[in-house]
Chain A
Amino acid sequence: MTVSQGKENKLNSIIRASRIISRMNQASPEARKSNTLYYQMIADYYTRLLEASKEGKFIAAHTVFFPTEILYAMDIVPMHTETTTWMIALFTGHSADMLSAGVELGLASEICTPHRGLAGAFALGVLPRPSVMLWSNLVCDNTAKSGELLMEINHCPGFFIDHPFQRSEDEEKYLVGELRDMIHFLEEQSGRKMDWDRLADIVARMDRQIELFREINELRKAIPTPFNPQGFLQLLTIDYLFPGRPEATKYLETLRDELVERVKAGQGAVSPERFRLMSLFIPPMYLIGFLEKISQEYGAVSVTEPFFTYWGEGALDPAKPLESVVKKSYMLPEMRMYGPLDERALNGIVNCAEQYRVDGAVYYADVGCRHTCATIKLFKDVLDRIDVPVLTLDCDVVDPTITSEEDVRDKLEQFFELLEDRQ
C-alpha cells in the first residue's frame, strides 16, 4: 500500500498544548486544580509514549473501551488509538491529512472518520509504531475490523478480544478466557510477566475510582450543577487513559472536593443556569471550545451523559482480578447503548433524565457512527415518554467539513428557544 509521506509530530503538539494549558491553569487564581492535574496527566501520558517510541520500548496500541488496566499491570506502555486521534483533532484543529491518507489506503467511506483517521495516522508515521496492536469488538464493527489492517500497516502482531454481546455466566467466562489468552500473548511478545498483585491493586483502585465517578455524578444533580459544561470529556478521558492509576484517583478526589465546595456555595457552572441538558453521544471535538462558549452564553449545561459518565451498578473484587476486569467492562457507561436495548436499558436513560431534572437532550448524531444514529428515533421516543425534547445535531466527531459552527449555533439557538417557550 502506498501512501503519501508526511512527517509531522502531532504528539508533540498534544504535549506542548497540554503543558501550556496546565501551566496557565496553575497560574490563574480562579482555575480548578483538577484542570491543572488533568492536563498534566495528558502531557505525562504522551511524553511517556513519545519517550518509549524514541527508546524502542514495547508499546501496545489499543482501541477504545479496552482493559488498559491489564497493560498497566504488566508495565507496558499503552497507546489509546481513538483518543489520540481525536486529541490531535482537538489540539491541532486539522486532521485532514490523516483522513486523506486513510482514503488512500483504500478505506471506504463506510469506515468512520476516527478509524479512517487513525489508519491514515499510522500510515503517515504520525503515531509511533506500536509493538503490538490490540483491539476488541467494542463498540462496533469498525473497531472489530480495524485491527488486521493496522497490523499490516505497522507490520506488527496483534490480538483481538472478542467481547460477548450479552451478559451471562457463560459469556463472562468466555471473556475471562479471552483476557487470559491476551495476557499470554503479551507475555510472549513483550518478555514481561503479568504481575497479579499489581493487577489486584489496580482493581482496588478502579473500584475506588468508580465510586468517585458515582459521587461526582451525584454532585452534578445539584441545581445549579457545579461541573462545567463540556467537562464530561475529562471524565471520559480519565477512564480511557488512566484506569486504576494513582493519578486518576488523585484527579477524581480533587474534582470531587471542588464540586462539593461549589455545591455548598451554590455555585453553578453557568450563571444563570437556564437549561439543563442531557448529552447523548459525543460532540464534535473541534467544536468543544465553541460549545463551552455557547453554554455560557445561553446558560445551558450538560448535566448528564448516560453513555459516558453514568456507570452501571456493582463493585470490583481485587481478590478476583480478571473477573473484576470483565465485570468492569460490563459496567462501563458505554455498554448502555451497545445493547441489547431492552426495557431495562431504555429505562436507564429515562431514570437518568428524571434524576438530573433535564430540560432537554442533545443527540450528537455522528454521520459516520452508524450504530449510534440507528437509535435516534428510539431514544427520542423513549424520552418523549417523560416529555423531554431531543435535538438531533448531524455532525462528525473529527471532520470539521460536515457541520459548521454557525450551523450548530443556529440549531442550538432554535432548541433553546423551544425550551424557553416551554418554561
Chain B
Amino acid sequence: MFGWLCTYIPEEILHAAGALPIRITGYSKETELEDGNAYLYINTCSFSRSCLQLGLKGEYDFLDGVVGGSTCDGARRLFDLWRNYIDTPFYHVLTVPRKYTQPAHDLYHSQVKQFKTHLEEFLGIQITDESLYRSIVVYNESRNLLKRLYELRKFDTPPISGTETMEVLNTCFRMPKELFNEWLRSLLDELSIRENSHKSRARLMVVGSVMTNPEFIESIEELGGLVVTDELCTSTRYWSDPVVLDRNITPLEAISQRYLNNFPCARMFPSDERFNRILDLARDFRVDGVISQIVRYCVPYAHDLPLLTERLKGQGIPTLALDVEYGTSGSGQIRTRVQAFLEMLEAKRN
C-alpha cells in the first residue's frame, strides 16, 4: 500500500504496479496537532501538520511507501520531515514543474519515468505498457463516472447534495478503483431514479485548497445553500481530466501529459489557466456565489484569491472568503458568515 499526497502524483503507476494507492489526507476532522505543531511549527499549513500528526502517531505505519511532489511549501516540508522521522520503506519525491511548456512536460515525463523505475526496483517487478493501459482504463472509468455524478448536480434540484458528493470522493481515495467504480455505478443507477429533491436558496461553488470533511459542506447546506460544484484538491481538480490515449505516444507519456495539464493547482503558472477553468465551471453549473475556503496557512491559494475574486466579480459572481483550519466542520463563526452571504445572494436575485 502506497500513500500519495497530491494531484500531481500519477496514481496509475502505483495501480499498474499492483499496489493500492491511498491518498494521504491527515485527519478529516479538526483535531489537536501537538506533534504536528512541534515538528512543523504552528505557522505551517494545517493540512501538512495534520498529515504529519497522523504519521508521527504511527497511523500511517501500514504504508509500504509514500510518494510526494515538490508541489508546495507545505508538502515539501512535510516530506522533508517524513523522510527524517517516519520510517516508511519506500520514499520518493517528484520534481513537478510549474509551467505547461513542452520542456516542462519533458521534465515531468522524465520524473515520472524515474519514479516508475524506482518503484520497479523496490518491488522487484516490471511495470509493462499493458498494465499501464489497463490502469488508465480503470482510472478513466472512475473519472468518467465522477463526471456523470457531477452532471447530475447541474439540475435545478439535483438528486445529490454537495455533502454526499464529498463523501463519495472520500470513498474514492481509500478504495481500490475497481471496487469504487462498481459501487459508483450502482449509486448512479440509484440516483437516476431518485427524486430530484435538493432545493436551495442559492447555488454555490466551494473553491480552495484541500478539504475532506463533508461536515463543512453540510454546515453550508443546512443553511439552505446548495453546493452544486466545487474546485478542490480533493474534488474536481482530482478527477477532472482523463488520460488521453494516442497511438503515437507511450502510455507513460499519456499519463504524464494528463497529470501536468490537469485542472491546475494554484501553484501553476500562469494563474489564468486555473481562473478560466473555475469560470467555466461556474458558468456550466449556473453558480450564484462562490465560497472560497483556504486552509490556514496556505500560501498559493491566498495569493490567488484577490485576482480570482476580481475575475468572478467580472462575471457577476460574489465570493465569500473563509479562512479555516484543515478539517473544520464549520463552527459558529463560519455559519454566521455563510448565512449573511446567502441572504446577500437572495437579495441580489430579487
How far apart are A385's CB and chain B's nearest CB, in angstroms?
12
How far apart are B68's CB and chain A's nearest CB, in angstroms?
10
Contact with B along A368-386 (1 / 0, CB 8 A): 1011011111100000000
How far apart are B248's CB and chain A's nearest CB, in angstroms?
22
A173, A368, A371: which contacts B73 (Cβ < 8 A)? A371
Using known A-B contacts A141-B267, A164-B97, determine if residue A149 contacts B303 with beta carbons closer than 8 Å. Answer: yes
Tell me the chain A residues, 232-282 only, with Cβ under 8 Å from chain B.
Answer: none
Tell me the chain B residues, 143-176 only, with Cβ under 8 Å from chain A.
Answer: none
What residues of B have a CB within 8 angstroms of the CB of A367 in the complex?
43
Q: Say yes or no for B32: interface residue by CB 8 A criterion.
A: no
Q: Say yes or no for B185: interface residue by CB 8 A criterion.
A: no
What residues of B have a CB within 8 angstroms of the CB of A417 in the complex?
none
Determine whether the beta carbon of A165 is less than 8 Å from that of B95.
Answer: yes
Q: Say which one of A35-43, A100-108, A221-229 lies at the interface with B.
A: A100-108
Determine whether the beta carbon of A108 is less than 8 Å from that of B97.
Answer: no
Q: Say yes or no for A51: interface residue by CB 8 A criterion.
A: no
> Binding site of B, secondary structure by majority: helix, strand, loop or mixed?
helix
Using known A-B contacts A111-B302, A166-B93, A339-B76, determine if residue A148 contacts B307 with beta carbons closer than 8 Å. Answer: yes
Tell me the chain A residues, 141-184 only, with Cβ under 8 Å from chain B.
Answer: 141-142, 144-146, 148-149, 152, 160, 162, 164-166, 170-171, 173-174, 177-178, 181
Determine whether the beta carbon of A145 is less than 8 Å from that of B304.
Answer: yes
Determine whether the beta carbon of B267 is less than 8 Å from that of A162.
Answer: no
Determine whether the beta carbon of B80 is less than 8 Å from that of A110.
Answer: no
Provide the bound-state CA to CA distance between A339 and B71, in Å.
Answer: 12
Q: Say yes or no for B183: interface residue by CB 8 A criterion.
A: no
Q: Say yes or no for B271: interface residue by CB 8 A criterion.
A: yes
Q: Say which one of B14-22, B58-66, B98-106 lies at the interface with A.
A: B98-106
B38, B96, B299: which contacts A111 (Cβ < 8 A)? B299
Determine whether the beta carbon of B95 is less than 8 Å from that of A166.
Answer: yes
Number of residues on chain B facing chain A (CB within 8 A): 51
What residues of A have a CB within 8 angstroms of the CB of B96 in the complex?
165
Determine whether the beta carbon of A160 is less than 8 Å from that of B98.
Answer: yes
What residues of B have a CB within 8 angstroms of the CB of A368 in the complex?
43
Q: Say yes or no for B204: interface residue by CB 8 A criterion.
A: no
How far apart are A393's CB and chain B's nearest CB, in angstroms?
13
Determine whether the beta carbon of B79 is less than 8 Å from that of A370.
Answer: no
Q: Say yes or no for B242: interface residue by CB 8 A criterion.
A: no
Determine whether the beta carbon of B81 is less than 8 Å from that of A378.
Answer: yes
Determine whether the beta carbon of A171 is less than 8 Å from that of B95.
Answer: yes
Determine whether the beta carbon of B306 is less than 8 Å from that of A162.
Answer: no
Determine whether the beta carbon of B81 is less than 8 Å from that of A374.
Answer: yes
Please classify how large the interface on chain A is, using the bins under 10, 10 to 19, 20 to 34, 35 or more.
35 or more
Determine whether the beta carbon of B269 is less than 8 Å from that of A165.
Answer: no
Q: Say yes or no for A188: interface residue by CB 8 A criterion.
A: no
Provide the bound-state CA to CA distance between A370 and B76, in Å.
Answer: 11
What residues of A have a CB within 8 angstroms of the CB of B309 in the complex?
106
What residues of B have a CB within 8 angstroms of the CB of A148 in the complex?
269-271, 307
Using known A-B contacts A140-B73, A152-B307, determine if residue A377 contacts B107 with beta carbons closer than 8 Å. Answer: no
What residues of A have a CB within 8 angstroms of the CB of B294 in the complex?
108, 110
Nearest A residue (CB) for B102: A177
Determine whether the beta carbon of A341 is less than 8 Å from that of B83.
Answer: yes
Q: Say yes or no for B224: interface residue by CB 8 A criterion.
A: no
How far apart are A190's CB and chain B's nearest CB, in angstroms?
21
Determine whether the beta carbon of A374 is less than 8 Å from that of B40.
Answer: yes
Provide the bound-state CA to CA distance between A111 and B97, in Å.
Answer: 22
Provide the bound-state CA to CA distance between A340 and B81, in Å.
Answer: 10
Provide the bound-state CA to CA distance between A367 and B264, in Å.
Answer: 29
What residues of B have a CB within 8 angstroms of the CB of A142 in the complex?
299, 303
Q: Specify which of A160, A342, A370, A378 lies most central, judged by the most chain B CB atoms within 10 Å of its CB.
A: A370
What residues of B have a CB within 8 angstroms of the CB of A341 in the complex?
80, 83-84
Using known A-B contacts A148-B271, A377-B38, determine if residue A106 contacts B107 with beta carbons closer than 8 Å. Answer: no
What residues of A have a CB within 8 angstroms of the CB of B39 in the complex?
377-378
Q: Say yes or no for A137: interface residue by CB 8 A criterion.
A: yes
Contact with A along B22-43 (1 / 0, CB 8 A): 0000000000000000111101
A110, A166, A174, A339: which contacts B106 (Cβ < 8 A)? A174
B40, B99, B299, B307: which contacts A141 (Cβ < 8 A)? B299
Determine whether the beta carbon of A374 is less than 8 Å from that of B95.
Answer: no
Provide the bound-state CA to CA distance between A181 and B70, in Å.
Answer: 23
Provide the bound-state CA to CA distance between A359 and B39, in Å.
Answer: 24
Provide the bound-state CA to CA distance between A216 and B103, in Å.
Answer: 39
Tell me the chain A residues, 168-221 only, with Cβ under 8 Å from chain B.
Answer: 170-171, 173-174, 177-178, 181
Provide the bound-state CA to CA distance between A339 and B101, in Å.
Answer: 24
What residues of B have a CB within 8 angstroms of the CB of A174 in the complex?
97, 103-104, 106-107
A108, A160, A374: which contacts B44 (Cβ < 8 A)? A374
Q: Say yes or no for A365: interface residue by CB 8 A criterion.
A: yes
Tell me the chain A residues, 1-17 only, with Cβ under 8 Å from chain B.
Answer: 1
Q: Say yes or no for B137: interface residue by CB 8 A criterion.
A: no
**14 A-B pairs whose Cβ atoms sit less than 8 Å apart in the complex:** A107-B302, A111-B302, A111-B303, A141-B299, A146-B303, A149-B306, A162-B97, A339-B77, A340-B79, A341-B83, A365-B41, A371-B44, A373-B41, A375-B80
